[in-house]
Amino acid sequence: MPDLFDRYRVIDVDTHLTEPPDVWTARVSSKWGDLVPHVERRDGEDVWLIGNREVLRPGQVSMAGFDGTVPEHPATYDDIPAACFDANARLAHMDGHGIHAQVIYPNVGGFGSQTFVTRLDEPELKLECIRAYNDFLIDWCSADSGRLLAVMALPFWDLDACVAEVVRSARAGHRAVLFPSQPQDFGQPALCDPHWDPLWAAAQDAGLSISFHIGGQNLGSLVKPPADIGTKANFARFSSLAFIENSKGLAELIFGGVCHRFPRLDFVSVESGAGWIPPVLEAFDWQWRNGGVRQEHPEYDLLPSEYFRRQVYACFWFEEQTIARAIELYPDNMLYETDFPHPTSMSPGPATPALPPRDYAAEALGALPEASVAKVLHGNAARIYHVH
């Protein structure tokens, strides 16, 4: 019998684009000078800069196949696989792994677009950078827009601009909306604040889901180690704990009534894993009943787990011991990803335990009911991202 990746048109719901060096310099007004995000080579390594401040090194987020672990990384674009930044090479990479479509997320702007808040002051330039990225991504995905699925960035510091960008980018072909799961970390109202209702309404009307990618928070305190435990141990520590950070946003969406007010709007917890979902939802349900939430909010007609079933999704890519239970309980809410080409992705280099996607699927999903496998590898994502 053909393996799982041959039986289904697999949709990989979380991958990243290593932005080519000219994304912003080719699209943003030159009047801003070096404040426009740009690449320089420093001490033999390519570096993304805003002004003279380093944002990240492209090799740090392009570890597919690399023989090493963080903090080691490829030095320059010449050392990075072309599939990280070239659309046609990405499609060839997907063909080689049996992946039909990939959802595309950024790096330079941050996983909630917070880079533009923390590194830039000029409102006009910040908005120009967001629009330039969204336009670039549509151009990049046009190599095969049925397989490369664009996720728009948003100027979340300006609600009116957010709504306008949802409308504009939806018309251009974007498939989802990227948003920080803890906007209060950047001086904005929390997710549950009615302030955001016009944005949720615009996304719901456009039929686009909201993506909360891990790292769409201020992780400064999490990244800082409690003691000198070593760089590699600290990366493993905070990158594990970052998964659970998304549970905060999930709680705000449900307990704050966002899911109730916008019943046709889907929310996706991206790169957060999914094995933790059942115990967290069990706690939500128990505390909901135990705390008398229905007495305080008689309009809330569902339990937290029922709101989750209706409109919230979680992504998995390495879990083996816990994912079967999550899929058993929530087969309509689980999505498969590879996180290509990040350090934690299913893009095995010699130094990592990562399995090739086909092999992982066979081990983690092979014993599950066929109907459930069909949903998590294709059907759920096809519905959310409008893949035909």
pLDDT tens by residue, 177-224: 999 999 999 999 999 999 999 999 999 999 999 999 999 988 887 888
| Structural domain contains residue 222 | no
> How, if at all, do strands 45-50 and 53-56 pair?
antiparallel
Q: What's the confidence (pLDDT) of residue 1?
A: 56
3-state class (DSSP) for residue 364: helix
| Structural domain contains residue 133 | yes
Please answer whether residues 271 and 240 qualify as being in contact, where contact means their C-beta atoms are separated by less than 8 angstroms. no
Report the C-alpha gap between 143 and 148 in whole angstroms.
8
Structure tokens at 212: 């909360």
Q: What is the mean pLDDT of residues 73-101?
A: 98
Q: What's the confidence (pLDDT) of residue 2?
A: 75
| Structural domain contains residue 166 | yes
Q: What's the confidence (pLDDT) of residue 171?
A: 98
| Structural domain contains residue 229 | no
Please answer whether residues 290 and 235 qualify as being in contact, where contact means their C-beta atoms are separated by less than 8 angstroms. no
Q: What's the confidence (pLDDT) of residue 220?
A: 81
| Structural domain contains residue 225 | no
Q: What is the mean pLDDT of residues 225-238?
A: 91
Report the C-alpha gap between 329 and 285 in whole angstroms.
14
The residue range of the domain holding 374 is 4-217+243-385
Report the C-alpha gap between 251 and 249 in whole angstroms.
5
| Structural domain contains residue 135 | yes
Work out the percent of the chain whose per-residue pLDDT is above 70: 100
Q: What is the mean pLDDT of residues 122-139?
A: 98
Structure tokens at 169: 């980018």
| Structural domain contains residue 154 | yes
Instruction: State the distance between the two ends of the chain, measured CA to CA, in whole angstroms.
Output: 25
> How, if at all, do strands 209-213 and 10-16 pair?
unpaired
Q: What is the mean pLDDT of residues 297-301?
A: 96
Mean pLDDT (the chain) is 96
pLDDT tens for each residue of 3-43: 999 999 999 999 999 999 999 999 999 999 999 999 999 99
| Structural domain contains residue 238 | no
What CATH number is attached to the domain comprising 187?
3.20.20.140
pLDDT tens for each residue of 316-360: 999 999 999 999 999 999 999 999 999 999 998 999 999 999 999
The count of structural domains within the chain is 1
Residue with tokens 């816990």: 322
pTM of the predicted model as reported, rounded to 2 decimal places: 0.96
